[in-house]
Structure 1
Protein backbone atom coordinates (compact mmCIF):
# COMPACT_ATOMS: atom_id res chain seq x y z
CA UNK A 1 0.00 0.00 0.00
CA UNK A 2 2.85 2.34 0.90
CA UNK A 3 4.42 1.73 -2.51
CA UNK A 4 1.14 2.61 -4.25
CA UNK A 5 0.78 5.83 -2.23
CA UNK A 6 4.36 6.81 -2.90
CA UNK A 7 3.99 6.15 -6.63
CA UNK A 8 0.78 8.21 -6.74
CA UNK A 9 2.42 11.11 -4.92
CA UNK A 10 5.40 11.06 -7.27
CA UNK A 11 3.08 11.00 -10.27
CA UNK A 12 1.05 13.98 -9.01
CA UNK A 13 4.25 15.89 -8.16
CA UNK A 14 5.55 15.29 -11.68
CA UNK A 15 2.32 16.63 -13.19
CA UNK A 16 2.43 19.71 -10.95
CA UNK A 17 6.07 20.34 -11.84
CA UNK A 18 5.33 19.96 -15.55
CA UNK A 19 2.49 22.47 -15.34
CA UNK A 20 4.71 24.99 -13.55
CA UNK A 21 7.44 24.39 -16.12
CA UNK A 22 5.00 25.01 -18.97
CA UNK A 23 3.78 28.26 -17.43
CA UNK A 24 7.37 29.42 -16.89
CA UNK A 25 8.26 28.65 -20.52
CA UNK A 26 5.53 30.98 -21.71
CA UNK A 27 7.30 33.94 -20.13
CA UNK A 28 9.85 34.36 -22.92
CA UNK A 29 10.58 38.02 -22.18
CA UNK A 30 12.59 37.31 -19.04
CA UNK A 31 13.65 33.78 -18.22
CA UNK A 32 12.93 30.15 -19.01
CA UNK A 33 13.57 27.73 -16.16
CA UNK A 34 15.39 30.58 -14.35
CA UNK A 35 17.87 31.02 -17.23
CA UNK A 36 18.52 34.33 -18.96
CA UNK A 37 17.19 34.48 -22.53
CA UNK A 38 17.87 36.57 -25.63
CA UNK A 39 21.38 37.50 -24.54
CA UNK A 40 22.10 37.65 -28.27
CA UNK A 41 19.55 37.40 -31.07
CA UNK A 42 22.02 36.14 -33.70
CA UNK A 43 24.49 33.27 -33.73
CA UNK A 44 27.26 35.76 -34.55
CA UNK A 45 28.11 39.06 -32.92
CA UNK A 46 29.68 40.43 -36.10
CA UNK A 47 32.14 37.77 -37.21
CA UNK A 48 32.70 36.22 -33.79
CA UNK A 49 30.32 33.51 -32.62
CA UNK A 50 27.95 34.31 -29.75
CA UNK A 51 26.77 32.08 -26.93
CA UNK A 52 23.35 31.73 -28.61
CA UNK A 53 22.61 28.10 -29.50
CA UNK A 54 20.12 26.65 -32.01
CA UNK A 55 17.27 24.76 -30.39
CA UNK A 56 17.03 21.01 -30.82
CA UNK A 57 16.21 20.06 -34.46
CA UNK A 58 16.40 23.72 -35.49
CA UNK A 59 18.17 24.42 -38.80
CA UNK A 60 19.77 27.73 -39.79
CA UNK A 61 20.66 28.58 -43.37
CA UNK A 62 23.48 31.13 -43.53
CA UNK A 63 24.40 33.54 -46.32
CA UNK A 64 27.26 35.96 -45.73
CA UNK A 65 29.04 38.44 -47.98
CA UNK A 66 32.14 40.57 -47.55
CA UNK A 67 32.80 43.03 -50.33
CA UNK A 68 36.16 44.53 -51.27
CA UNK A 69 37.75 47.52 -49.57
CA UNK A 70 35.75 50.73 -49.84
CA UNK A 71 38.98 52.78 -50.22
CA UNK A 72 39.08 52.18 -54.01
CA UNK A 73 35.88 54.17 -54.41
CA UNK A 74 34.10 54.02 -57.76
CA UNK A 75 36.89 51.97 -59.37
CA UNK A 76 35.52 48.91 -57.59
CA UNK A 77 32.12 50.47 -56.82
CA UNK A 78 33.19 50.81 -53.19
CA UNK A 79 34.19 47.14 -53.00
CA UNK A 80 31.08 45.57 -54.52
CA UNK A 81 33.11 44.30 -57.50
CA UNK A 82 35.27 42.16 -55.21
CA UNK A 83 32.75 40.22 -53.15
CA UNK A 84 33.41 37.01 -51.28
CA UNK A 85 30.61 34.68 -50.21
CA UNK A 86 29.89 32.17 -47.47
CA UNK A 87 27.05 29.64 -47.68
CA UNK A 88 26.34 27.23 -44.88
CA UNK A 89 24.02 25.44 -42.55
CA UNK A 90 23.80 24.96 -38.78
CA UNK A 91 21.78 22.19 -37.11
CA UNK A 92 20.87 21.81 -33.46
CA UNK A 93 21.39 18.17 -32.45
CA UNK A 94 20.29 18.99 -28.90
CA UNK A 95 19.63 22.22 -27.06
CA UNK A 96 23.28 22.23 -25.97
CA UNK A 97 25.04 20.89 -29.08
CA UNK A 98 25.03 22.04 -32.73
CA UNK A 99 27.06 21.26 -35.84
CA UNK A 100 27.82 23.48 -38.82
CA UNK A 101 29.19 23.21 -42.34
CA UNK A 102 29.94 26.06 -44.74
CA UNK A 103 31.81 26.91 -47.91
CA UNK A 104 33.73 30.16 -48.45
CA UNK A 105 34.75 31.51 -51.86
CA UNK A 106 37.86 33.08 -50.30
CA UNK A 107 40.54 30.36 -50.65
CA UNK A 108 37.76 27.95 -51.66
CA UNK A 109 37.55 26.96 -48.03
CA UNK A 110 35.26 24.43 -46.37
CA UNK A 111 34.58 24.90 -42.69
CA UNK A 112 33.02 22.49 -40.23
CA UNK A 113 32.54 22.91 -36.52
CA UNK A 114 30.71 22.03 -33.34
CA UNK A 115 29.29 24.39 -30.75
CA UNK A 116 28.49 23.15 -27.27
CA UNK A 117 27.09 24.79 -24.16
CA UNK A 118 28.99 24.28 -20.91
CA UNK A 119 27.13 26.64 -18.57
CA UNK A 120 24.12 28.98 -18.64
CA UNK A 121 23.51 32.31 -16.98
CA UNK A 122 20.74 32.01 -14.46
CA UNK A 123 19.80 32.33 -10.84
CA UNK A 124 22.66 30.03 -9.81
CA UNK A 125 25.41 31.08 -12.25
CA UNK A 126 26.37 34.52 -13.62
CA UNK A 127 27.62 33.61 -17.11
CA UNK A 128 26.90 31.76 -20.34
CA UNK A 129 29.88 29.62 -21.37
CA UNK A 130 30.02 27.92 -24.78
CA UNK A 131 32.81 26.07 -26.57
CA UNK A 132 33.37 26.37 -30.31
CA UNK A 133 35.68 23.98 -32.20
CA UNK A 134 36.39 24.43 -35.93
CA UNK A 135 38.33 22.67 -38.69
CA UNK A 136 39.01 24.42 -42.01
CA UNK A 137 40.02 22.84 -45.33
CA UNK A 138 41.77 25.12 -47.84
CA UNK A 139 41.07 23.69 -51.32
CA UNK A 140 42.66 26.66 -53.12
CA UNK A 141 46.17 25.27 -52.62
CA UNK A 142 47.63 23.44 -55.64
CA UNK A 143 50.46 20.91 -55.93
CA UNK A 144 52.15 22.82 -58.74
CA UNK A 145 52.71 25.65 -56.25
CA UNK A 146 53.45 23.33 -53.31
CA UNK A 147 55.04 20.12 -54.72
CA UNK A 148 55.04 18.37 -51.35
CA UNK A 149 51.44 19.26 -50.61
CA UNK A 150 49.46 16.68 -48.64
CA UNK A 151 45.88 16.79 -47.40
CA UNK A 152 47.00 17.56 -43.85
CA UNK A 153 48.61 20.79 -45.08
CA UNK A 154 45.19 22.10 -46.09
CA UNK A 155 43.90 21.97 -42.52
CA UNK A 156 43.63 24.67 -39.88
CA UNK A 157 42.01 24.40 -36.48
CA UNK A 158 40.36 26.88 -34.15
CA UNK A 159 39.33 26.51 -30.52
CA UNK A 160 37.33 29.23 -28.78
CA UNK A 161 35.64 29.67 -25.44
CA UNK A 162 32.72 32.10 -25.56
CA UNK A 163 31.91 33.75 -22.23
CA UNK A 164 28.97 36.15 -22.09
CA UNK A 165 26.70 37.93 -19.67
CA UNK A 166 23.37 39.63 -20.20
CA UNK A 167 23.92 42.76 -18.12
CA UNK A 168 20.38 44.08 -18.55
CA UNK A 169 17.60 44.11 -21.16
CA UNK A 170 19.63 46.35 -23.47
CA UNK A 171 23.27 45.37 -22.96
CA UNK A 172 25.05 42.01 -23.43
CA UNK A 173 28.82 41.51 -23.27
CA UNK A 174 31.11 38.68 -24.40
CA UNK A 175 34.77 37.67 -23.94
CA UNK A 176 36.46 35.26 -26.37
CA UNK A 177 39.88 33.64 -25.90
CA UNK A 178 40.89 31.94 -29.17
CA UNK A 179 43.60 29.56 -30.31
CA UNK A 180 44.42 28.96 -34.00
CA UNK A 181 46.70 26.24 -35.38
CA UNK A 182 47.70 26.08 -39.07
CA UNK A 183 49.37 23.03 -40.57
CA UNK A 184 50.69 25.07 -43.51
CA UNK A 185 52.17 28.50 -42.84
CA UNK A 186 55.03 30.74 -43.91
CA UNK A 187 57.43 30.92 -40.94
CA UNK A 188 58.84 34.20 -42.27
CA UNK A 189 55.56 36.03 -41.70
CA UNK A 190 53.49 34.05 -39.19
CA UNK A 191 53.44 31.28 -36.62
CA UNK A 192 51.69 27.93 -36.75
CA UNK A 193 50.09 28.57 -33.35
CA UNK A 194 48.42 31.92 -32.68
CA UNK A 195 46.55 33.09 -29.60
CA UNK A 196 44.12 35.99 -29.50
CA UNK A 197 41.84 37.48 -26.89
CA UNK A 198 39.05 40.02 -27.08
CA UNK A 199 35.31 40.17 -27.36
CA UNK A 200 32.52 42.64 -27.82
CA UNK A 201 29.00 43.56 -26.99
CA UNK A 202 25.46 44.13 -28.18
CA UNK A 203 23.36 47.15 -27.30
CA UNK A 204 19.64 47.00 -28.01
CA UNK A 205 18.30 50.21 -29.57
CA UNK A 206 14.73 49.13 -30.27
CA UNK A 207 12.78 45.87 -30.01
CA UNK A 208 14.15 44.68 -33.38
CA UNK A 209 17.36 46.69 -33.75
CA UNK A 210 20.73 46.51 -32.00
CA UNK A 211 24.27 47.78 -32.59
CA UNK A 212 27.21 45.38 -32.10
CA UNK A 213 30.95 45.91 -31.65
CA UNK A 214 33.84 43.44 -31.44
CA UNK A 215 37.64 43.55 -31.24
CA UNK A 216 40.25 40.78 -31.04
CA UNK A 217 43.90 41.26 -30.16
CA UNK A 218 46.21 38.72 -31.81
CA UNK A 219 49.33 38.29 -29.65
CA UNK A 220 51.22 36.42 -32.39
CA UNK A 221 50.37 38.36 -35.54
CA UNK A 222 53.05 39.61 -37.98
CA UNK A 223 53.52 43.37 -38.20
CA UNK A 224 51.82 43.88 -41.57
CA UNK A 225 48.52 42.38 -40.34
CA UNK A 226 46.14 44.23 -38.06
CA UNK A 227 43.89 43.25 -35.19
CA UNK A 228 40.29 42.69 -36.34
CA UNK A 229 37.86 45.44 -35.37
CA UNK A 230 34.25 45.26 -36.54
CA UNK A 231 30.95 47.03 -36.03
CA UNK A 232 27.53 45.73 -37.03
CA UNK A 233 23.80 46.37 -36.91
CA UNK A 234 21.30 43.58 -36.17
CA UNK A 235 17.86 43.83 -37.80
CA UNK A 236 15.20 41.27 -36.80
CA UNK A 237 12.60 40.62 -39.48
CA UNK A 238 10.29 37.73 -38.64
CA UNK A 239 12.02 34.41 -39.18
CA UNK A 240 15.51 35.76 -39.74
CA UNK A 241 18.15 38.15 -38.46
CA UNK A 242 19.92 40.43 -40.94
CA UNK A 243 23.30 41.86 -39.92
CA UNK A 244 24.94 44.83 -41.65
CA UNK A 245 28.70 44.84 -41.10
CA UNK A 246 31.78 47.05 -41.40
CA UNK A 247 35.09 45.33 -40.63
CA UNK A 248 38.81 45.53 -41.36
CA UNK A 249 38.95 41.81 -42.23
CA UNK A 250 37.48 40.46 -45.45
CA UNK A 251 37.75 36.82 -44.36
CA UNK A 252 34.78 35.13 -42.69
CA UNK A 253 36.36 31.94 -41.34
CA UNK A 254 37.78 32.20 -37.82
CA UNK A 255 41.22 30.87 -38.84
CA UNK A 256 41.65 33.71 -41.37
CA UNK A 257 39.61 36.43 -39.68
CA UNK A 258 41.63 36.19 -36.48
CA UNK A 259 45.08 35.94 -38.09
CA UNK A 260 45.02 37.74 -41.45
CA UNK A 261 43.09 40.98 -41.02
CA UNK A 262 44.65 43.49 -43.42
CA UNK A 263 42.46 46.60 -43.40
CA UNK A 264 43.20 49.82 -41.52
CA UNK A 265 40.23 51.87 -40.38
CA UNK A 266 42.26 55.08 -40.17
CA UNK A 267 43.15 54.86 -43.88
CA UNK A 268 39.61 54.04 -45.02
CA UNK A 269 40.67 50.48 -45.77
CA UNK A 270 37.74 48.46 -44.46
CA UNK A 271 35.08 46.15 -45.84
CA UNK A 272 31.30 46.27 -45.95
CA UNK A 273 29.23 43.10 -45.75
CA UNK A 274 26.30 41.29 -44.24
CA UNK A 275 25.20 38.07 -42.53
CA UNK A 276 21.75 36.61 -43.13
CA UNK A 277 20.40 33.81 -40.93
CA UNK A 278 17.14 32.06 -41.84
CA UNK A 279 15.79 29.58 -39.33
CA UNK A 280 13.66 26.55 -40.20
Structure 2
Protein backbone atom coordinates (compact mmCIF):
# COMPACT_ATOMS: atom_id res chain seq x y z
CA UNK A 1 0.00 0.00 0.00
CA UNK A 2 2.89 2.37 0.75
CA UNK A 3 4.14 1.86 -2.80
CA UNK A 4 0.68 2.69 -4.14
CA UNK A 5 0.48 5.92 -2.12
CA UNK A 6 3.96 6.87 -3.24
CA UNK A 7 2.89 6.35 -6.86
CA UNK A 8 -0.13 8.60 -6.24
CA UNK A 9 2.11 11.27 -4.74
CA UNK A 10 4.35 11.15 -7.81
CA UNK A 11 1.28 11.45 -10.02
CA UNK A 12 0.14 14.50 -8.05
CA UNK A 13 3.52 16.13 -8.56
CA UNK A 14 3.35 15.58 -12.32
CA UNK A 15 -0.08 17.22 -12.44
CA UNK A 16 1.32 20.21 -10.57
CA UNK A 17 3.83 20.77 -13.36
CA UNK A 18 0.96 21.34 -15.78
CA UNK A 19 0.23 24.65 -14.08
CA UNK A 20 2.86 26.51 -16.08
CA UNK A 21 1.04 29.82 -15.67
CA UNK A 22 1.66 29.62 -11.92
CA UNK A 23 5.37 28.91 -12.14
CA UNK A 24 6.64 32.28 -13.36
CA UNK A 25 7.06 33.62 -9.83
CA UNK A 26 9.57 30.97 -8.80
CA UNK A 27 11.85 30.91 -11.83
CA UNK A 28 13.81 34.04 -10.94
CA UNK A 29 17.56 33.53 -11.29
CA UNK A 30 19.49 35.09 -8.46
CA UNK A 31 22.85 36.59 -9.27
CA UNK A 32 24.08 36.97 -5.70
CA UNK A 33 25.96 34.32 -3.75
CA UNK A 34 24.26 31.00 -2.97
CA UNK A 35 24.68 31.57 0.75
CA UNK A 36 22.15 34.46 0.59
CA UNK A 37 19.42 32.04 -0.50
CA UNK A 38 17.37 30.23 2.18
CA UNK A 39 18.31 26.73 3.32
CA UNK A 40 14.69 25.59 2.86
CA UNK A 41 11.98 26.71 0.44
CA UNK A 42 9.11 25.65 2.73
CA UNK A 43 8.31 26.82 6.25
CA UNK A 44 8.54 23.19 7.43
CA UNK A 45 11.22 20.59 6.79
CA UNK A 46 8.52 17.91 6.80
CA UNK A 47 6.32 18.50 9.85
CA UNK A 48 8.94 20.18 12.02
CA UNK A 49 9.66 23.87 11.46
CA UNK A 50 12.45 25.02 9.13
CA UNK A 51 14.53 28.20 9.37
CA UNK A 52 12.54 29.88 6.60
CA UNK A 53 10.31 32.76 7.75
CA UNK A 54 7.48 34.67 6.15
CA UNK A 55 8.72 38.03 4.86
CA UNK A 56 7.31 41.37 5.99
CA UNK A 57 3.55 41.78 5.39
CA UNK A 58 3.18 38.30 3.89
CA UNK A 59 0.13 36.24 4.88
CA UNK A 60 0.22 32.46 4.65
CA UNK A 61 -2.81 30.21 4.77
CA UNK A 62 -1.82 26.76 6.07
CA UNK A 63 -3.67 23.49 5.45
CA UNK A 64 -2.07 20.33 6.87
CA UNK A 65 -3.73 16.92 6.64
CA UNK A 66 -2.79 13.47 7.94
CA UNK A 67 -4.78 10.41 6.98
CA UNK A 68 -5.10 7.44 9.32
CA UNK A 69 -2.83 4.42 9.68
CA UNK A 70 -2.40 2.88 6.23
CA UNK A 71 -1.72 -0.56 7.75
CA UNK A 72 -5.39 -0.91 8.77
CA UNK A 73 -6.16 -1.71 5.16
CA UNK A 74 -9.54 -1.65 3.47
CA UNK A 75 -11.49 -1.62 6.75
CA UNK A 76 -10.62 2.07 7.24
CA UNK A 77 -10.01 2.58 3.50
CA UNK A 78 -6.26 2.72 4.09
CA UNK A 79 -6.54 5.61 6.53
CA UNK A 80 -9.07 7.79 4.73
CA UNK A 81 -11.70 7.21 7.44
CA UNK A 82 -9.53 8.50 10.27
CA UNK A 83 -7.89 11.79 9.37
CA UNK A 84 -6.54 14.82 11.24
CA UNK A 85 -6.51 18.33 9.79
CA UNK A 86 -4.84 21.58 10.82
CA UNK A 87 -5.86 25.04 9.57
CA UNK A 88 -3.75 28.07 10.31
CA UNK A 89 -2.47 31.50 9.35
CA UNK A 90 1.02 33.00 9.49
CA UNK A 91 1.86 36.70 9.25
CA UNK A 92 5.26 38.26 8.62
CA UNK A 93 5.53 41.18 11.06
CA UNK A 94 9.02 41.93 9.78
CA UNK A 95 11.50 40.01 7.64
CA UNK A 96 12.87 38.55 10.87
CA UNK A 97 9.67 37.90 12.84
CA UNK A 98 6.49 36.00 12.02
CA UNK A 99 3.46 35.08 14.14
CA UNK A 100 1.18 32.09 13.65
CA UNK A 101 -2.15 30.74 14.88
CA UNK A 102 -3.59 27.30 14.09
CA UNK A 103 -6.20 24.78 15.17
CA UNK A 104 -5.98 21.00 14.78
CA UNK A 105 -8.92 18.59 14.86
CA UNK A 106 -6.98 15.93 16.77
CA UNK A 107 -7.24 16.87 20.47
CA UNK A 108 -8.92 20.12 19.31
CA UNK A 109 -5.64 21.92 19.90
CA UNK A 110 -5.02 25.63 19.29
CA UNK A 111 -1.40 26.77 18.90
CA UNK A 112 0.02 30.27 18.81
CA UNK A 113 3.63 30.64 17.70
CA UNK A 114 6.41 33.19 17.24
CA UNK A 115 9.33 32.57 14.88
CA UNK A 116 12.26 34.96 14.81
CA UNK A 117 15.62 35.23 13.08
CA UNK A 118 18.63 35.38 15.38
CA UNK A 119 21.58 34.95 13.01
CA UNK A 120 21.75 34.72 9.21
CA UNK A 121 24.16 32.46 7.32
CA UNK A 122 26.78 34.48 5.48
CA UNK A 123 30.38 34.41 4.43
CA UNK A 124 31.22 35.39 8.01
CA UNK A 125 28.87 32.98 9.83
CA UNK A 126 28.31 29.33 8.88
CA UNK A 127 24.63 28.82 9.84
CA UNK A 128 21.18 30.33 10.13
CA UNK A 129 19.79 30.38 13.68
CA UNK A 130 16.08 30.92 14.24
CA UNK A 131 14.11 30.80 17.49
CA UNK A 132 10.63 29.28 17.67
CA UNK A 133 8.20 29.38 20.60
CA UNK A 134 4.71 27.87 20.83
CA UNK A 135 1.86 28.05 23.32
CA UNK A 136 -0.72 25.26 22.87
CA UNK A 137 -4.22 24.96 24.34
CA UNK A 138 -5.84 21.50 24.43
CA UNK A 139 -9.60 22.23 24.33
CA UNK A 140 -10.50 18.54 24.14
CA UNK A 141 -9.84 17.96 27.84
CA UNK A 142 -13.07 17.52 29.79
CA UNK A 143 -14.03 17.96 33.43
CA UNK A 144 -15.88 14.65 33.13
CA UNK A 145 -12.45 13.00 33.01
CA UNK A 146 -10.60 15.59 35.09
CA UNK A 147 -13.01 17.01 37.72
CA UNK A 148 -10.43 19.48 39.07
CA UNK A 149 -9.41 20.70 35.61
CA UNK A 150 -8.23 24.32 35.46
CA UNK A 151 -7.53 26.37 32.35
CA UNK A 152 -3.80 26.27 33.04
CA UNK A 153 -3.90 22.47 32.84
CA UNK A 154 -4.75 22.76 29.14
CA UNK A 155 -1.50 24.57 28.33
CA UNK A 156 1.73 23.20 26.85
CA UNK A 157 4.86 25.05 25.75
CA UNK A 158 7.55 24.50 23.12
CA UNK A 159 10.91 26.22 22.69
CA UNK A 160 13.19 25.39 19.76
CA UNK A 161 16.46 26.59 18.27
CA UNK A 162 16.45 25.96 14.51
CA UNK A 163 20.03 25.78 13.23
CA UNK A 164 20.47 25.20 9.50
CA UNK A 165 23.21 25.35 6.91
CA UNK A 166 22.82 25.55 3.15
CA UNK A 167 25.76 23.55 1.86
CA UNK A 168 24.93 23.95 -1.83
CA UNK A 169 22.11 24.78 -4.21
CA UNK A 170 20.79 21.23 -3.70
CA UNK A 171 21.61 20.24 -0.13
CA UNK A 172 20.70 21.71 3.29
CA UNK A 173 20.73 20.33 6.85
CA UNK A 174 19.10 21.48 10.06
CA UNK A 175 19.67 20.67 13.75
CA UNK A 176 16.74 21.34 16.08
CA UNK A 177 17.26 21.13 19.86
CA UNK A 178 13.82 21.34 21.51
CA UNK A 179 12.18 21.63 24.92
CA UNK A 180 8.53 20.79 25.70
CA UNK A 181 6.69 21.47 28.95
CA UNK A 182 3.19 20.10 29.65
CA UNK A 183 1.11 21.32 32.56
CA UNK A 184 -1.09 18.21 32.44
CA UNK A 185 0.56 14.87 31.68
CA UNK A 186 0.35 11.19 32.52
CA UNK A 187 3.46 10.27 34.58
CA UNK A 188 3.24 6.60 33.64
CA UNK A 189 3.80 7.30 29.93
CA UNK A 190 5.68 10.61 29.68
CA UNK A 191 7.52 13.34 31.57
CA UNK A 192 6.33 16.82 32.36
CA UNK A 193 9.49 18.27 30.80
CA UNK A 194 10.81 16.69 27.63
CA UNK A 195 14.03 17.37 25.73
CA UNK A 196 14.41 16.43 22.08
CA UNK A 197 16.94 16.88 19.30
CA UNK A 198 15.98 16.73 15.66
CA UNK A 199 18.00 16.37 12.46
CA UNK A 200 16.42 17.21 9.11
CA UNK A 201 17.55 17.76 5.58
CA UNK A 202 16.56 18.69 2.06
CA UNK A 203 18.00 17.47 -1.23
CA UNK A 204 16.85 19.08 -4.47
CA UNK A 205 16.36 16.56 -7.29
CA UNK A 206 14.97 18.92 -9.94
CA UNK A 207 14.17 22.58 -10.47
CA UNK A 208 10.97 22.41 -8.42
CA UNK A 209 11.17 19.17 -6.41
CA UNK A 210 13.16 18.21 -3.33
CA UNK A 211 13.22 15.13 -1.10
CA UNK A 212 13.11 15.93 2.63
CA UNK A 213 13.57 13.89 5.81
CA UNK A 214 13.61 14.53 9.55
CA UNK A 215 14.03 12.53 12.75
CA UNK A 216 13.63 13.62 16.38
CA UNK A 217 15.11 11.78 19.37
CA UNK A 218 13.10 12.22 22.58
CA UNK A 219 15.31 11.83 25.66
CA UNK A 220 12.27 11.02 27.83
CA UNK A 221 13.44 7.48 28.65
CA UNK A 222 10.11 6.00 29.70
CA UNK A 223 7.93 7.65 27.06
CA UNK A 224 5.16 5.46 25.67
CA UNK A 225 5.45 7.26 22.34
CA UNK A 226 7.90 6.78 19.48
CA UNK A 227 10.52 9.11 18.07
CA UNK A 228 8.95 10.92 15.09
CA UNK A 229 10.43 9.99 11.71
CA UNK A 230 9.10 11.60 8.52
CA UNK A 231 9.91 11.51 4.81
CA UNK A 232 8.54 14.06 2.38
CA UNK A 233 8.61 15.69 -1.02
CA UNK A 234 8.45 19.45 -1.68
CA UNK A 235 6.77 20.56 -4.91
CA UNK A 236 7.20 24.27 -5.70
CA UNK A 237 4.41 25.92 -7.69
CA UNK A 238 3.44 29.53 -8.23
CA UNK A 239 2.26 31.06 -4.98
CA UNK A 240 2.69 27.99 -2.81
CA UNK A 241 4.78 24.97 -1.83
CA UNK A 242 2.99 21.62 -1.70
CA UNK A 243 4.50 18.95 0.57
CA UNK A 244 3.62 15.25 0.37
CA UNK A 245 4.81 13.06 3.24
CA UNK A 246 4.84 9.80 5.18
CA UNK A 247 5.25 9.89 8.97
CA UNK A 248 4.74 7.82 12.12
CA UNK A 249 3.12 10.80 13.92
CA UNK A 250 -0.42 11.64 12.86
CA UNK A 251 -0.68 14.91 14.76
CA UNK A 252 -0.08 18.17 12.87
CA UNK A 253 0.44 20.45 15.87
CA UNK A 254 4.07 21.17 16.73
CA UNK A 255 3.92 19.78 20.28
CA UNK A 256 1.69 16.84 19.36
CA UNK A 257 3.94 15.82 16.48
CA UNK A 258 7.04 15.81 18.63
CA UNK A 259 5.71 14.09 21.75
CA UNK A 260 2.75 11.92 20.68
CA UNK A 261 4.06 9.84 17.76
CA UNK A 262 2.21 6.53 18.06
CA UNK A 263 3.13 4.88 14.75
CA UNK A 264 5.88 2.33 14.16
CA UNK A 265 7.70 2.33 10.82
CA UNK A 266 8.96 -1.21 11.42
CA UNK A 267 5.38 -2.51 11.65
CA UNK A 268 4.05 -0.42 8.79
CA UNK A 269 2.05 1.85 11.12
CA UNK A 270 2.55 5.08 9.18
CA UNK A 271 0.41 8.00 8.06
CA UNK A 272 0.24 9.63 4.64
CA UNK A 273 -0.47 13.34 4.42
CA UNK A 274 0.32 16.75 2.98
CA UNK A 275 1.10 20.37 3.90
CA UNK A 276 -0.12 23.23 1.73
CA UNK A 277 0.99 26.84 2.17
CA UNK A 278 -0.65 29.59 0.13
CA UNK A 279 1.01 33.01 0.33
CA UNK A 280 -0.72 36.37 -0.17
Runs of 4+ in 1 over 6 A off after TM superposition: none
Mapped to 2, the partners of 1:98 and 1:244 lie a distance apart of: 24
Does the CA contact (< 8 Å) of 2:248 and 2:262 recur in 1? yes
1:61 — aligned with what?
61
Distance 1:91 1:221 in 2: 37
Match of 2:30 in 1: 29
Is it true that 1:41 corresponds to 2:20 in the alignment? no
Aligned CA RMSD, in angstroms, stands at 1.3
1:199 and 2:199 are equivalent in the alignment: yes
1:232 aligns with 2:223: no
Deviation at residue 252 of structure 1 after TM alignment: 1.3
Q: Which residue of 1 aligns with 2:152?
A: 152
1:136 aligns with 2:136: yes
Q: Is the partner of 1:78 in helix, strand or coil?
A: helix
Distance 1:192 1:223, change over 3 A: closer
Residue 221 of structure 1, CA deviation: 4.9
CA 1:258 to 1:200, structure 2 compared with 1: closer, same or farther past 3 Å?
A: same
Task: Name 1:211's counterpart in structure 2.
Answer: 211
2: CA distance, partners of 1:44 / 1:221: 27
Q: Give the TM-score taking structure 2 as reference length.
A: 0.88
Q: Which residue is 1:100 aligned to?
A: 100
Aligned partners of 2:186, 2:193: CA distance in 1, in Å?
Answer: 12
Q: Does 1:112 align with 2:112?
A: yes
Name 2:73's counterpart in structure 1.
73
Deviations 1:40-92 (A, max 9, x none): 11000001100001110001100000110000011111101101100000000
What is the total number of aligned residue pairs between the two structures?
A: 253
Q: CA separation in 2, counterparts of 1:62 and 1:256? A: 17
When Rg is computed on C-alpha atoms for both structures, the one with the higher figure is 1
Answer whether contact 1:99 1:113 (CA < 8 A) is retained.
Answer: yes
Q: Which has the higher contact order (CA 8 A, sep 6+)?
A: 2
Distance 1:93 1:115 in 2: 10
CA shift for structure 1 position 223:
4.7
* Structure 2 portions without partners, runs of 5+: 1-27
The normalised TM-score by structure 1 is: 0.88
Equivalent in the alignment of 1:122: 122
Query: For structure 1, which runs of at least 5 residues remain unmatched after alignment?
Result: 1-26
Task: Give yes or no for the alignment of 1:271 onto 2:271.
Answer: yes
Moved more, 74-83 or 156-165: 74-83
